[in-house]
């Protein structure tokens, strides 16, 4: 009598019939074992991708740092040749701001800036559209029952 071996569950089935295999393959333990088996490959693949991204970032950072150092060396050499440091460096002339400072926008999610004009629907001499006009009749107190009570 042949026995069926399930690689995912690391177990033998007592009988090798299609019904027993189908029943085993639809079981929750088998499905969990299959899921875990493939998750191990996904985790290693994800970690490999993360490592490659970090390596690319470090290489770009090293290149950018080297470029910044080269620019600094050129500026320093020019400053030493002219007798004074370049603009923006300690001891050198400071760059002047261009025009008046601009207003800053609020951070995202912090509301919108104050409105420059009146709200929409505003007419001079009239109350805002959300308020009743002056002199409008209001119901007398007690005309409506409190919420939750019926007459």
* Listed range (30-34, 37-41, 71-75) with the worst mean pLDDT: 71-75
pLDDT of residue 127: 64
Distance, in Å, from the CA atom of 128 to the CA atom of 124, rounded to the nearest integer, reads 9
> Going from the N-terminus, what domains does the chain have, and what CATH number goes with each?
4-62 (3.30.160)
List of E strands, the chain: 4-6, 11-13
For residues 75 and 86, is the Cβ–Cβ distance under 8 A?
yes
Single pTM value for the model:
0.33
- 3-class secondary structure, 13: strand
Residues 6+ apart with CB under 8 A from 145: 151
pLDDT of residue 129: 63
Band (43; pLDDT cuts 50, 70, 90): confident
- pLDDT tens digits, one per residue of 97-116: 666 677 777 677 666 656 56
User: Stretch 121-143: mean pLDDT, rounded?
Assistant: 67
Which two tokens mark 140? 């007398």
Phi, psi of 89 (to 5 degrees): -90, 155
pLDDT of residue 41: 81
For residues 13 and 20, is the Cβ–Cβ distance under 8 A?
yes
Closest by CA position to 25, among listed 3, 8, 38, 42: 8
- pLDDT tens digits, one per residue of 6-24: 999 999 988 888 898 999 9
């Amino acid at each position: 009598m042949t026995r069926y071996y399930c690689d995912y569950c690391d177990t033998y089935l007592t009988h090798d019939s299609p019904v027993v295999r189908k029943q085993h393959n639809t079981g929750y333990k088998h499905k969990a074992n299959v899921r875990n088996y493939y998750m191990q490959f996904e985790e290693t693949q994800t970690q490999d991708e993360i490592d490659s991204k970090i390596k690319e970032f470090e290489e770009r950072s090293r290149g950018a740092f080297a470029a910044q150092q080269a620019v600094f060396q050129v500026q320093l050499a020019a400053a030493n040749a002219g007798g004074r440091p370049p603009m923006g460096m300690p001891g050198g002339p400071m760059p002047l701001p261009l025009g008046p400072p601009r207003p800053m926008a609020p951070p995202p999610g912090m509301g919108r800036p104050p409105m420059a004009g009146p709200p929409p629907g505003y007419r001079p001499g009239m109350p805002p559209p959300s308020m009743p006009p002056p002199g409008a009749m209001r119901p007398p107190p007690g005309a409506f029952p409190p919420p939750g009570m019926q007459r």
